[in-house]
Amino acid sequence: MINYKQQFLKDTGAEVPIVCDPMYPGSNPELVAAVSDAGAFGVVQPVALTSLYGHDFRKGLQLIKKLTNKPFGVNFTIFGGANQKYHDQMKEWMEISIEEGVKFFLTSLGKPHEIVKIAKQHSIKVYHDVPNKKVALAMRDAGVDGLNCINWRGGGQTGIQSAEQFMEELHDIGIPLICAGGIGDVNDFQKALDLGYAGVQMGTRFLATNECKITDSYKMAIVDSDEGDIVWTNKIAGNNSSVIKTDDIMRGGLRTGPVINFMLRKPKLKKYARMYLMNKGVKNYSRTSFDDNVQFWQAGKGVGHINSVESVADVVNSFKSVEVT
Ligand SMILES: Cc1cc2nc3c(=O)[nH]c(=O)nc-3n(C[C@H](O)[C@H](O)[C@H](O)COP(=O)(O)O)c2cc1C
């Protein structure tokens, strides 16, 4: 029988089966490097690396390589609805990633077939974000090496299924399954491994670290929040995103208005509605990297188990007490 935990460790080159998600905002190169250096696995969010944190893409990857000699991954949000310029940019970033020796791609939103084809030519592993069984089976058949099961407890764009439901439906899919959403502490990690997951993907936990470039007020909001403070809004991307309930969030309401709702229901208009929302969202949410007074804070339900802002090394070390067999 295949040991998926060991396979996941082999695929990433990490010591502990923990991925730090790609996050906009949150994935500054210093965070990505610190996560990998501590023995887990950091993943670059290219738009955050370039537009938000101001690095030339190649130089950003080279900076991470200067900060750690451990492997790290790069995320590609495929987003079928985007324009040609976006796809060309993704392609260029992919080529640069290959040239810089990246061996792990994390793909999301869309069809990764082309990326899988190119990745295989360069012995690069591809894991893909999935929201349900139907997409999971299609992605397995497309040749991805593993699946990130995005559950309903996660921060940012979130899923609708529980971690348990994913495992019930996909336990025999034949590739590693990663639990993405709601992992705040070592007990949550242990539970995910006990369920049968090969590893976990954490975002919110790594936001509340010294190395992450978001504001101190954002970090403290994660520490001070409980599960009940997390609400869903569809105003960031048209589907549900998990955010902390703040005055800034509640002022505009949690749901889109009738015009956007109409567009979201029409397949031909949906992509325009989503692009409109994302452009607006990017403006609000990126400010949480620099402005303590802006309270657009994405976070998952793991906040209830996150009690302090720590160094990345302390966070990762605290998870190393779990024996991974
Ligand atoms: C602040 C924040 C930003 C995020 N940005 C992205 C992103 O740009 N692309 C992406 O694929 N997922 C993004 N996510 C979702 C994460 O990749 C992941 O699914 C989620 O963080 C896991 O749940 P957790 O936060 O409870 O650990 C984001 C999550 C957060 C909290």
pLDDT single digits (tens) 105-159: 999 988 889 999 999 999 999 999 999 999 999 999 999 999 999 999 999 989 9
Residue having the nearest C-alpha atom to atom 5 of ligand 1: 23
In the chain, the amino acid numbered 195 is L
12 and 138 part of one domain = yes
Q: Name every protein residue with a CB atom under 6 angstroms from any ligand 1 atom.
A: 21-24, 26, 45, 75, 77, 108, 129, 150, 153-157, 180-183, 201-204, 298-300, 302
25 lies in the same domain as 155: yes
**Closest atom of ligand 1 relative to the 301 alpha carbon:** 26
Regarding whether 234 and 98 lie in a shared domain, the answer is no
Domain end residue (candidates: 171, 186, 213): 213
Tell which residue, 204, 186, 290, 148, has the closest CA to residue 31.
204
Mutate to test the pocket of ligand 1, among 20, 23, 147 (most ligand atoms within 8 A of CB): 23
Domain enclosing residue 27, as ranges: 4-213
321 occurs within a structural domain:
no
Residue 277: pLDDT band with limits 50, 70, 90 = confident
Q: How many domains does the chain have?
A: 2
Mean pLDDT along residues 87-108: 95
pTM summary value? 0.95
pLDDT for residue 80? 67
Task: For residue 322, give the DSSP letter.
Answer: S
Atom of ligand 1 nearest to the CA of 109: 11
Residues 229 and 285 reside in one and the same domain = yes
Query: In this structure, is residue 150 part of a structural domain?
Result: yes
Q: Of 194, 213, 232, which marks where a domain is finished? A: 213
> What does the pLDDT look like over 287-312, one tens digit per residue?
888 889 889 999 999 999 999 999 99
Q: For residue 244, give the 3-state DSSP assignment.
A: strand
- Within-domain flag for 314: no
Does residue 294 fall inside a structural domain? Answer: no
Position 65 scores a pLDDT of 98
Q: Examine the domain organization and report whether 108 and 237 are in the same domain.
A: no
Q: Give first-to-last CA distance, the chain, whole Å.
A: 13
List the Cα angle 27/28/31 in 5-degree steps.
85
Contact call for residues 320 and 18 (beta carbons, < 8 A): no
Tell how far the Cα of 21 is from the centroid of ligand 1, in angstroms.
Answer: 6
pLDDT value of residue 302: 97
Instruction: Give tens-digit pLDDT for 191-236.
Output: 999 999 999 999 999 999 999 999 999 999 999 999 999 999 999 8
pLDDT of 267 over the 90 cut: no
Give the three-class secondary structure for 34.
helix
Q: What percent of the chain is modeled with pLDDT above 70?
A: 99
What's the gap in Å between 201 CA and the centre of ligand 1?
A: 9
Q: What is the mean pLDDT of residues 42-66?
A: 97
The residues facing 77 across adjacent strands are: 108
